[in-house]
């Protein structure tokens, strides 16, 4: 896989003394539309736009059979862990409990539709393997029975937990959803919160026999990121080596990254396209890095610069990898 690492930080931003200390904040990953695995509806095109503030996707599907195909189209947000919300800052909307968290909108054949929005709780805890979170069974009923709201506001959650009678609290502990350190005060008492809130948008969709259907949607992007400290020449640092591999950072880009002070990590799951029939006939990815002085780095080939901040990748008969990883780093603009 070839590298696309694009536009270095301006040279006037001199690198100062570096120390390792990438203080970060969490955010939300991005995803494509999901549909039940089928061999009748093909994705004729996907036009994907990724920016720091917005993600927009336009699809054209074709039912290749002589029968209508109907089913549920789903746009899921990755689960948002309550333990992470407790422990660190997060790049989330100010009103975290609003129903349409990311202002998701969708059109079918040019007409706006209103998707159903479902908020569930799933078991979620840190994995010992590669530090990746693990999510599992639906525990919504357990929390609702205890009177715990499916909130993304830690303060609201702690207030609800503090109000629980001992029997209900013990039931959450016994179910493995909560660890309690009784000797600690306030929110620190809840030493481990083992669930996440999963939000999904969904609607019923019919793909008429032999016909094409266009579906477009967009939503606000809230990627994780934080303070960026990068050493060049590179040292024998496990985090820096893994970051260089994940985003295909070469020598010139590494040098430029040492002048930057903030970064965002955008993760977009492309593999959901493989639930449709065959490869994507025509695929287009547009990335907007937001400022001409920013660095954009990702693992991709065929990247073309189309504007001061925009870059495009085009593919034909494309079977995408599971996940697209994008790094956008900012210099100190002061």
58-68: per-residue pLDDT in tens? 999 999 999 99
CB atoms within 10 A of CB 13: 18
pLDDT recorded at residue 108: 98
The DSSP element (H or E) to which 171 belongs, if any, is helix 166-174
CB 256 within 8 A of CB 249: no
Q: How confident is the model at residue 28 (pLDDT cuts 50, 70, 90)?
A: confident
Cα–Cα distance, 224 to 267 (Å, whole number): 9
pLDDT recorded at residue 333: 60
CB 216 within 8 A of CB 58: yes
All structural domains of the chain with their residue ranges: 1-40+223-334, 69-207
In sequence order, which residues have a C-beta less than 8 Å from that of residue 303 and are 6 or more positions away?
4, 6, 311, 312, 313
Q: Is the pLDDT of residue 88 over 90?
A: no
Segment 96-127, tens digit of pLDDT: 999 999 999 999 999 999 999 999 999 987 65
Cα–Cα distance, 126 to 118 (Å, whole number): 24
Q: Is the pLDDT of residue 328 over 90?
A: yes
CB 280 within 8 A of CB 41: no
Segment 185-198, tens digit of pLDDT: 777 888 899 999 99
Strands 105-108, 304-305: pairing kind = unpaired
Longest Cα–Cα distance in the chain: 67
Q: Is the pLDDT of residue 12 over 80?
A: no
- DSSP assignment letter at 79: P
What's the whole-number average pLDDT of the chain? 87
pLDDT recorded at residue 9: 34
In sequence order, which residues have a C-beta less than 8 Å from that of residue 279 and are 6 or more positions away?
317, 318, 319
CB atoms within 10 A of CB 49: 17
The DSSP element (H or E) to which 177 belongs, if any, is none
Cα–Cα distance, 236 to 241 (Å, whole number): 7
Alpha carbon of 163 to those of 24, 147, 158, 169, 173: distances in Å?
32, 9, 9, 9, 15
Residue 55 three-state SS: strand
pLDDT recorded at residue 330: 94
Cα–Cα distance, 212 to 282 (Å, whole number): 14
Q: How confident is the model at residue 134 (pLDDT cuts 50, 70, 90)?
A: low
Cα–Cα distance, 259 to 238 (Å, whole number): 20
End-to-end CA distance of the chain: 36
pLDDT recorded at residue 135: 61
pLDDT recorded at residue 10: 29
How confident is the model over 157-183, as a mean pLDDT? 92
Q: Is the pLDDT of residue 3 over 70?
A: no
Tokens in use for 295? 């660095």
pLDDT recorded at residue 278: 79
Cα–Cα distance, 159 to 168 (Å, whole number): 14
Q: Is the pLDDT of residue 14 over 70?
A: no
How confident is the model over 220-233, as a mean pLDDT? 93
pLDDT recorded at residue 125: 74
Q: How confident is the model at residue 249 (pLDDT cuts 50, 70, 90)?
A: very high
Q: How confident is the model at residue 275 (pLDDT cuts 50, 70, 90)?
A: confident
Q: Is the pLDDT of residue 294 over 60?
A: yes
* Percent of the residues in the chain that have a pLDDT greater than 70, as a whole number: 89
CB 257 within 8 A of CB 47: no
pLDDT recorded at residue 321: 80
Closest CA to 228 of 209, 205, 247, 204: 247
């Amino acid at each position: 896989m070839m590298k696309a690492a694009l536009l270095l930080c301006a040279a006037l931003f001199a690198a100062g003394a570096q120390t390792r200390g990438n203080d970060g904040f969490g955010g939300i990953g991005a995803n494509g539309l999901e549909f039940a695995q089928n061999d009748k509806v093909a994705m004729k095109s996907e036009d994907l736009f990724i920016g720091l503030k917005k993600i927009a996707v336009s699809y054209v599907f074709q039912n290749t059979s002589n029968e209508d195909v109907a089913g549920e189209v789903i746009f899921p947000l990755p689960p948002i862990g309550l333990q992470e919300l407790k422990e660190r800052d997060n790049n989330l909307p100010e009103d975290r409990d609003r129903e349409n968290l990311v202002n998701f909108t969708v059109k079918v054949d040019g007409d706006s539709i209103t998707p159903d929005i479902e908020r569930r709780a799933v078991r979620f805890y840190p994995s010992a393997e590669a530090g990746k979170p693990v999510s599992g069974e639906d525990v919504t009923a357990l929390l609702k029975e205890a009177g715990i709201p499916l909130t993304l506001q830690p303060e609201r959650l702690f207030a609800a937990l503090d109000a629980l009678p001992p029997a209900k609290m013990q039931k959450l502990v016994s179910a493995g959803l909560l660890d309690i350190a009784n000797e600690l005060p306030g929110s620190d008492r809840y030493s481990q919160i083992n669930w996440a809130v999963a939000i999904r948008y969904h609607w019923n969709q019919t793909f008429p026999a032999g016909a094409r259907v266009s579906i477009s949607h967009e939503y606000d992007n809230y990627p994780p990121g934080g303070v960026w400290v990068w050493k060049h020449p590179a040292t024998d640092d496990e985090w820096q080596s893994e970051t260089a591999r994940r985003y295909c950072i070469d020598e010139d880009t590494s040098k430029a990254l040492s002048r930057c002070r903030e970064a965002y990590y955008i993760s977009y799951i492309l593999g959901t396209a493989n639930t449709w029939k065959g490869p994507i006939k025509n695929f287009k990815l547009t990335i907007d890095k937001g400022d001409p002085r920013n660095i954009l780095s990702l693992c991709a080939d065929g990247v073309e610069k189309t504007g001061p901040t925009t870059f495009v990748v085009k593919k034909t008969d494309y079977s995408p990898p599971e996940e697209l990883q994008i790094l956008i780093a900012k210099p100190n603009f002061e």
